[in-house]
Structure formats: C-alpha cells, structure tokens
C-alpha cells in the first residue's frame, strides 16, 4: 500500500480534533461539533481538513475567533465559517453602548437629567 493510502487509514475523528487543537480551543470545538452532527464520521473528514486548512489563508487567530463566533451563533457549516472569515465578520467587534462616542457635543449650555425631574 502506498504512503498516501496509509495516511488516509490514520484519519479518525480524534486525528482531526488533535490537529484542530493546535490552532485553538474554539477550532477544536467547531471541528468536534462537525463530527457530533454526523452519524458517519468519514463524511466529515474533508470538511474538517478544510476548516483546519483555513489557517493558511486567514491565520490561526482569525480562525479561532471565527470558530468562536460560529459556535456562539449555532453555525456548524464549513461554508458559513469560510464566509465569516471572507467577510471579516470575525474582526468586527461591536462596542458596548456605554463606550460609544456621544453624538451630542458637550458644552456649558446643556442641562443634565436633574433639571427634568
């Protein structure tokens, strides 16, 4: 048997989960969720490899952030994960309301909430 065929024989869900763990806990959890949603793990091998290979294009940090976002929203799809990375949804972090800059300029003529009781 050729070395290529032997490599395929080594593939298992644990093999891909261990490879994913090298890129972050969220990547590991995302790959695990792929296997959890399928009764035949062999079907998921190429998708899992695709998820792990996304680090070559987008980097490990972005892949880990995208997997966290996908898991938080309930996404368990390679294609949708790739779209998150492609559209840079993983780098967009919404500021909390209290940290947003006010659209009202501050000056001495403005009255506070105490004047309206």
More confident residue, 9 or 47: 47
26-52 residue pLDDT tens:
999 999 999 997 888 889 999 999 999
Average model confidence (pLDDT) across the chain: 86
Looking at residue 83, what is its pLDDT?
96
Looking at residue 95, what is its pLDDT?
54
Is it the case that residue 97 has pLDDT exceeding 70?
no
CA distances (Å), origin 55, targets 12, 22, 59, 72, 76: 20, 11, 4, 20, 17
Nearest to 28 by CA among 55, 57, 56: 55
Looking at residue 44, what is its pLDDT?
92
Q: What is the mean pLDDT of residues 77-105?
A: 79
What's this model's pTM, rounded to 2 decimal places?
A: 0.74
Q: What is the mean pLDDT of residues 72-83?
A: 94
Q: Is 27 exposed, middle or buried (0-12, 13-18, 19+ CB in 10 A)?
A: buried
Looking at residue 31, what is its pLDDT?
96
């Amino acid at each position: 048997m050729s070395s290529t065929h032997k490599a395929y024989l080594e593939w298992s869900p644990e093999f891909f989960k261990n490879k994913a763990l090298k890129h972050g806990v969220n990547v590991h959890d995302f790959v695990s969720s792929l296997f959890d949603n399928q009764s035949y793990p062999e079907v998921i091998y190429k998708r899992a490899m695709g998820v792990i290979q996304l680090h070559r294009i987008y980097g490990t940090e972005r892949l880990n952030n995208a997997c966290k976002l996908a898991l938080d929203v309930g996404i368990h799809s390679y294609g949708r994960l790739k779209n998150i990375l492609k559209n840079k949804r993983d780098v967009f972090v919404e500021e909390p309301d209290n940290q947003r800059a006010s659209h009202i300029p501050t000056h001495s003529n403005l009255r506070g909430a105490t004047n309206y009781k």
